[in-house]
Amino acid sequence: MNARRRVYVEGSRPDLRVPFTEVTLTGDNPPVRLYDTAGPGSDPEVGLPPLRGAWIAERGDVAPVRGAGTPLAGRPGKRPTQLAYARAGQVTPEMEFVALREQLPVELVRDEIAAGRAVLPANVNHPESEPMIIGNRFLVKVNANIGTSAVTSSVAEEVEKLTWATRWGADTVMDLSTGKRIHETREAIVRNSPVPIGTVPIYQALEKVGGDPVKLTWEVFQDTVVEQAEQGVDYMTVHAGVLLPYVPLAVDRVTGIVSRGGSIMAAWCLAHHEENFLYTHFDQLCEILAAYDVTFSLGDGLRPGSIADANDAAQFAELRTLGELTAVAWEHDVQVMIEGPGHVPMHKIKENVDLQQELCHSAPFYTLGPLTTDIAPAYDHITSAIGAAMIGMFGTAMLCYVTPKEHLGLPDRDDVKAGVIAYKIAAHAADLAKGHPGAQAWDDALSKARFEFRWTDQFNLALDPDTARSYHDATLPAEPAKTAHFCSMCGPKFCSMKITQELKDYAARGMADKSAEFRSGGGRVYLPLA
Amino acid sequence: MNARRRVYVEGSRPDLRVPFTEVTLTGDNPPVRLYDTAGPGSDPEVGLPPLRGAWIAERGDVAPVRGAGTPLAGRPGKRPTQLAYARAGQVTPEMEFVALREQLPVELVRDEIAAGRAVLPANVNHPESEPMIIGNRFLVKVNANIGTSAVTSSVAEEVEKLTWATRWGADTVMDLSTGKRIHETREAIVRNSPVPIGTVPIYQALEKVGGDPVKLTWEVFQDTVVEQAEQGVDYMTVHAGVLLPYVPLAVDRVTGIVSRGGSIMAAWCLAHHEENFLYTHFDQLCEILAAYDVTFSLGDGLRPGSIADANDAAQFAELRTLGELTAVAWEHDVQVMIEGPGHVPMHKIKENVDLQQELCHSAPFYTLGPLTTDIAPAYDHITSAIGAAMIGMFGTAMLCYVTPKEHLGLPDRDDVKAGVIAYKIAAHAADLAKGHPGAQAWDDALSKARFEFRWTDQFNLALDPDTARSYHDATLPAEPAKTAHFCSMCGPKFCSMKITQELKDYAARGMADKSAEFRSGGGRVYLPLA
């Protein structure tokens, strides 16, 4: 039997089955259940089964856009969003799924969504997705960016990256494709994705106008949003807070505007001498998103791209506007999260979360890193995992990964894994620091296995069992070493854990009742070492 | 010309020359000088030149132990330590070297050493070392552990790891060898090391008694300390705070005692029913260390080895004792730093520094990580870089690296590099967060190069130029791409930096005087995009 296998916890109905990875341990140690993002596994030619299909249909508030089949959209006057349901006091199967997954009360899930403090991204046209929640009261989530660029990659490669990213624990995936075949790439990704998919629609809109930001219009953008919403995109980054008056604030920065969407909108605003059309048409945009339950990810187009630019006037001016837009979106029953930086030195990280929570009415924060220094291209998964762990501890709900290729090139499969692993570490470290119920059980089980020299259990519990095992085997490959009470780091004589185990055994043989004496100071034990 | 080359800043005497790596940049950008730990380069057969030889001799307070030549020790009644000199108001060449290296006033260096808030580890028998300082007011330092174990490695390999570690920025190196040929390995390391060398003498003492902790004696330990001090070891980890009454406090932990030295001393204490001989002979030990200017690194033998055990009674009981011992060492003019954990969740990190500073009278703190979660064996350079950056920000003076092989095996050359790089990132992120003068200049220079598409400058400024360049070239290898205004991540049309550059150009052509209008809200520019 494989020691790691998928198990399902069934909810109130037979089609509500929540996946976990169950790790079977040796001896009388109880199995450990880990959150599982990998999905049931799909054949790229067929796509995943529509897990949520019946749930969506049963609610009766959506209808086929073109008379029959898919895509679906809200019936006239209906807003089929999880926010609308939560506000109405309704517990959806999606909420129940999330509650079982997080091992928290379903009322908490519903109330946090209703208050806007959490989002459950779940487009009615992406029934393949397994519900997950993003909010400060829940496990910190990780997003992985994939997608083609004009220079490199293919559709098949991107689907493989998606599967690879969710295998290692990505909670959502953003398809940031910008080259040819954007629609086709996205279709393949959505149909095969067990996790919510995010996009930045302005990228495709820009392709539609030949790559010239000046030629962008609200109409082209609107068409693109509808196209993507009908495909099943679960959340969309919209740079509606890059206002014309803010652009000059960014001009004298060390690194100007580093958000692609932000720079595109800034260019449009300046060229037309007009306010950002995403801002001026925001109400219309809300109504579109409400019809499919697409969640807003309000983009931080003016996020800092260097340590020098962190927490500056441009960044915080935009954040204030994102707060205004949050309130507008909520009026339309649209779920909202807020994107954050970027590059921020450690001592300026907390201010970002505090201000975001205040200005954006506690909507979930979703940050890119932040990178805590600019000096280490090729290691920005590490420079940013530091910032991500900290900002997660302070209350950020989802962390967008950064890969080793950041600033240098498009991530490949290995980079995707390196980024996801670094961010799962950051997210879990934040869960521990926040005291998330149950988070530490994983650490405790692994540490107990380590202390008891249950090497195989330790590997199976590891975030990346394959690599942990291969590193161990690099110096002690023999099978007996898997039960040895030492490793090559210290060798048999110097293993502190082995010595402590022996101390523990002596203690068990009689030291226990001497402990009180010891604690009162200077007591002696009468247990000679063998 | 190589864009990265070693330059020297000369001090008040011609034999006082402080190395820097100077990075020459293109265009009219001024060169950037980086702290350089690599040393002048040595032929392992010959060893390094005795940089400090004359400085040590000139002071006239040491004499050959065996009548002539080396090793040296303090003359009767003399304590040739940097602490004694600083307390006497004396500025040594070592202090001046450090001041130039840190670009800080030499009086600050002297005063911090005199107050015990900083150490300058500099054994009179290690004249090859380039002076460096460890203290909260200075750049955060990084230690790399190397050394053979009974299972693997050779002397030549260890010298190569030493050179490799200092090439990537290790500020000190600890030789933790525990197998055969400990003396020979250490000799080769010290003679070839441009950085201070630390050891844990109990390891060799244990070898001398056949590996049985019960057979350890003060006499064997004392002989070992003298042997290592005569070789030139600059600082020694001594687990004098593992007191008999504290051992039971660690028995019920999830991971017991994880320090090798700590477990050895705990075993000795219990077996003999006696107090730790390192504690009972501490005054004598101080006098030995004072004679060579060996710095104490008071070991945390009861540090937590898992998240569950962090900040517990055992750990903090020992820390209190280390505070007492600090005061004793200072009475003997011996420099002291204090070792710290280990495994600590993020929300418990600050307490470690605050308590250490309070209990240990502001002696410098030197921590191993800490790891912020236990779940990621094979990635503990990352789990711990998070904790290291934070604890550095809170005031830890030196960070002991953790490599990807931690808990799994002995690090090889690649692991040493991965560990050093992760920790240089953590240390520099901490320098930024502490506002260390000049720290951000490096980030700013690199970010400016990035924004201006000076790819070659960006690579040359990177912490690891080789890897940054190779990652870029993986997708855009052609030489013209080195001047291209984009990379494969976004491709030419979507590069935000390129668009911002264009915005900046428009701004320069006339938007400047419109900025005031913009800032007053809603102003418009009249500069169409080309």
pLDDT score of A511 more than 80 = no
Q: Compute the distance between CA of residue A164 and CA of residue A145 in angstroms, rounded to an integer.
A: 12
DSSP string computed for A74-143: EPTT----HHHHHHTT---HHHHHHHHHHTS-HHHHHHHHHTTSEE----TT-TTSPP--EETTSPPEEE
Q: A418: how many CB neighbours lie within 10 A of its CB?
A: 23
The pLDDT tens digits of the residues spanning A328-382 come to 999 999 999 999 999 999 999 999 999 999 999 999 999 999 999 999 999 999 9
Q: Report the b/e string of A34-60 with b at 16+ CB within 10 A.
A: bbbbbbeebeeeeebebbbeebbeeee
What is residue B381's predicted lDDT score, i.e. its pLDDT?
A: 98
Helix (H) / strand (E) containing B202: helix B201-208
pLDDT band at A527 (very low <50, low <70, confident <90, very high): very low
Inter-chain contact B408–A487, Cβ cutoff 8 Å?
yes
Using a CB cutoff of 8 Å and minimum separation of 24, what contacts does B455-458 make?
Answer: B455/B481, B455/B482, B455/B483, B455/B484, B456/B3, B456/B26, B456/B482, B457/B3, B457/B23, B457/B25, B457/B26, B457/B29, B458/A377, B458/A407
The beta-carbon contacts of A477-481 under 8 Å, at least 24 apart in sequence, are: A481/A455
Interface contact A273-B178, CB threshold 8 A: no
- Identify the CA nearest to B314 among candidates B266, B250, B369, B263: B250
- Whole-number average pLDDT of chain B: 92
Q: Is B375–A443 a contact, with Cβ atoms under 8 angstroms apart?
A: yes
For residue B493, the chain A residues in CB contact (below 8 A) are: 150, 178, 206, 211
Of the candidates B425, B468, B529, which has its C-beta nearest A382's C-beta? Answer: B425
The nearest CA of chain B is from the CA of A77 a distance in Å of 35
CA distances from B205 to A530, B152, B202, B325 (A): 20, 20, 5, 22
Q: Report the pLDDT value the prediction gives residue B508, as an integer from 0 to 100.
A: 63
Question: Hey, are the CB atoms on A149 and B490 less than 8 Å from each other?
Answer: yes
pLDDT at B493: 62
Q: Tens of pLDDT along A141-174?
A: 999 999 876 666 688 888 999 999 999 999 999 9
Give residue A492's pLDDT: 62
Q: For residue range A256-307, what is the model confidence (pLDDT) as tens digits?
A: 999 999 999 999 999 999 999 999 999 999 999 999 999 999 999 999 999 9
First and final CA of chain A: distance in angstroms?
39
Binding site annotation covers B300? yes
Confirm whether residue B22 is marked as ligand binding: no
- Identify all chain A residues contacting B402, using CB atoms and an 8 Å cutoff: none
Q: How confident is the model at residue A15 (pLDDT cuts 50, 70, 90)?
A: very high
**Tens digits of per-residue pLDDT, B29-77?**
999 999 999 999 878 888 999 999 999 999 999 999 999 999 999 999 9
Give the integer Cα–Cα distance in Å for B149 and A220.
66
Contacts of B404 in chain A (CB under 8 A): 471
For the ranges A381-390, A505-514, B354-363, the lowest mean pLDDT is seen at: A505-514
Give the closest residue to B50 by CA, choosing from B126, B120, B122: B126
Q: Which residues from A are below 8 Å from B428, CB to CB?
A: 373, 375
Which of A374, A451, A500 lies at the smallest CB-CB distance from B447? A374
Q: What is the pLDDT of residues A273-284, one digit of tens each?
A: 999 999 999 999
pLDDT bin (cut points 50, 70, 90) of residue A202 is: very high
Tell me the one-letter amino acid at A364. Answer: P
- Whole-number average pLDDT of chain A: 92
Report the pLDDT averaged over residues B186-194. 96
Residue B96 has pLDDT above 70, yes or no: yes
pLDDT at B296: 98
Q: Residues in chain A, how many?
A: 530
Residue A475: its pLDDT value, please?
A: 76
Tell me how long chain B is: 530
Res B480 pLDDT > 90 = no
Residue with tokens 């007053």: B520
State residue B483's pLDDT score.
Answer: 64
- Asked if the model's pLDDT at residue A523 lies above 50, the reply is no
Asked if residue A487 lies in contact with residue A474, where contact means CB atoms within 8 angstroms, the answer is: no
Whether the complex's predicted ipTM surpasses the cut of 0.90? yes
Helices and strands (H, E) in chain A, number of each type: 21, 15
State the nearest Cα–Cα gap between A94 and chain B, in angstroms.
29
pLDDT digits (tens, 9 = 90+) for A35-44: 999 999 878 8
A487 labelled binding-site residue: yes
With bands split at pLDDT 50, 70 and 90, how would you rate the model's confidence at B513? very low
pTM for this prediction: 0.94
Asked if A442's CB is within 8 angstroms of B375's CB, the reply is yes
Please report the pLDDT score of residue B178 as a whole number: 82
CA distance B91 to chain A (A): 34
Kindly tell me if the per-residue pLDDT of B528 is higher than 70: no
Answer yes or no: is B8 a known binding residue.
no
Cβ contact B245–A433 (<8 Å): no
**What are B336-356's pLDDT values in tens digits?**
999 999 999 999 999 999 999
Q: What is the pLDDT of residue A476?
A: 74
On the question of pLDDT at B295 being above 90, the answer is yes
Q: Dump pLDDT digits (tens) for B78-88.
A: 999 999 999 99
